[in-house]
Structure 1
Amino acid sequence: MSALFSCEKENTAVPPVITEDTTVVIKPKDTIRSYLALGDSYTIGQSVLEEDRFPVQTVRLLITDSIKFSSEIIAQTGWTTTNLLNRINSKPPLKSSYDIVTLLIGVNNQYQGLSQDQYRTEFTTLLNKSIVFAGNKTNRVIVLSIPDYSVTPFADGYNISKIAAEIDSFNVINKEITLAAGVTYLDITSSTRLAENDDSLIAYDGLHPSGKEYAKWAIWLAPMIKDALKN
């Protein structure tokens, strides 16, 4: 089975969208704060406009609130925890320290049938690296839970109950590790499940969130980031 989001199911009406290994840097003038977003297709915003990616929408809200930011996104469609670790190790982020770091990773571990023990180990390593990237300030790191794609058209024909249960299991792991490290955890999974009855929350590919869904994440993240910057 190929990596999740790297291609559509056979005979789909929507052609596959290939996202290259991408580092995106957005630099407003007179930058003060820096934001590093680590993840997979959900972070790079597969099948939405660049302006609709959740890190971009978050930065836009903060800039509107007179908090100037630069942002760097390290993410690629199909990445597992192993892929993200390899990318960080082979080509580290542009800066050694950031004011805010977000981490969202794991859906492809589930989709590819990788073990939860492997996920636990590698997620722990990624979280520890995220804390280092945040200047060793745990309050400057935010972990987002794994979205549930079982409610999307892509999952038609799959065992959706199994998908949802496995997503929950992976989220139990990342939440436990996150909270034990004293890091902030944002549950977005329940929000993504609303797409079951609202197709406006799904991108044109029938799999990924739309800009409308990502906007919700940004609205939740922006005040969390503002509070983190106070300390």
Structure 2
Amino acid sequence: MRLFLLFFLVLLACSACQKEAAPPTTTTNPVVPPVTNPPHLERIDILALGDSYTKGQGVTWAKNFPNQLTDALKSEQYDVAGVYVIAQTGWRTDQLKSSIASQANVIGDSTFSLVTLCIGVNNQYQNADFEIYKKEFEQLLQTAIERAGGRTDRVFVLSIPDWAYTTYGQNYGNPATISQEIDQYNAANYEIAKGYEVNYVQVTDISRQGLARPEFVAGDGLHPSALQYTEWLKIMMPQVRDVLKK
């Protein structure tokens, strides 16, 4: 009997050894794709009105202010259809008005997502009638609002840069007088802009770093460099984002 019991226990042990061990259980976390912001739905088109500061005299076309604005929007996933620039070096307010009228057959009755306006330095430079400037600036602002589809929040007036803070300005007449006149013009366009409740972008202070920071001035010694335009956008883009979120 004892022999039988011993034999039975040996068989039982061998049977247990032959059984495969169960694989260890592991738990895996499901792979969750990263959250990405959906692209903005509005298709953006830009109308830029002005003079040399909008055209980008002294820098490549790709690095002028309107095109840097376009690139900044694209980098934030905005769908930018394009930018239409009506600007030329030397233009006063009356010349900008005439050019807009002459291109009516090109832009038709188009409305734009964003409209920028920067004009007046040549009125100041050429000692034009200040009262006429105020009148024509207001007319141009009305046109800008119309081209924005009546949406005043889509219009951005940029202050006039101070060219006294360039090597050219330092060697032309009285730099202090230039700055005083630029302030006078900007005070006027600011009041008009605020009266219409459009956005106002103060870039004059940046331009006044031109002597301390020569890299802010283009190679011609007079106009803003591409780097200065980039600085403009740093203060403008928060306003643009807020507007496009509405």
Same fold (TM over 0.5): yes
Q: Which residue of 2 aligns with 1:204?
A: 219
Determine which of 76, 80, 83 is the counterpart of 1:71: 83
Determine which of 177, 183, 194 is the counterpart of 2:198: 183
Please state whether the residue corresponding to 1:36 is helix, strand or coil. Answer: strand
Q: Which residue of 1 aligns with 2:244?
A: 229
Q: Structure 2: which amino acid aligns with 1:78?
A: G
Aligned residues: 202
Q: Structure 1: which amino acid aligns with 2:59?
A: V
Q: Structure 2: which amino acid aligns with 1:126?
A: L
Whose RCO is larger (CA < 8 A, sep 6+)?
1
CA-to-partner distance for each residue in 1:105-154, whole Å, 9 max, x for gaps? 00000000001100100000000000000000000000000000001111
TM-score (norm 1): 0.84
Shift of 1:54: 1.1
Shift of 1:222: 2.5
Q: Which residue of 1 aligns with 2:98?
A: 86
Task: Label 1:39 to 1:157 Cα distance change in 2 as closer, same or farther (>3 A).
Answer: closer
CA-to-partner distance for each residue in 1:82-103, whole Å, 9 max, x for gaps? 0000001121262520010000
Q: Which residue of 1 aligns with 2:153?
A: 139
Q: Structure 2: which amino acid aligns with 1:137?
A: R
Shift of 1:58: 1.1
What is the Cα-based RMSD across aligned positions, in Å? 1.4
Q: Which residue of 1 aligns with 2:179?
A: 164
- Runs (4+) of structure 1 exceeding 4 A deviation are none
Determine which of 137, 140, 154 is the counterpart of 1:123: 137
Identity %: 40
CA-to-partner distance for each residue in 1:36-64, whole Å, 9 max, x for gaps? 01000000000101121011111101101
Shift of 1:219: 2.4
Q: Which residue of 2 aligns with 1:3?
A: none
2-side partners of 1:125 and 1:161: how far apart? 30
Determine which of 62, 65, 71 is the counterpart of 1:51: 62
Structure 2 segments unaligned to the other structure (5+ residues): 1-40
The answer as to whether partners of 1:58 and 1:221 remain within 8 angstroms in 2 is no
Q: Which residue of 2 aligns with 1:219?
A: 234
Structure 1 residues 153-162 or 70-79, which shifts more?
A: 153-162
Higher helix share: 2
1-side partners of 2:49 and 2:235: how far apart? 17
Determine which of 89, 103, 108 is the counterpart of 2:122: 108
Q: Which residue of 1 aligns with 2:207?
A: 192
Structure 1 segments unaligned to the other structure (5+ residues): 1-29
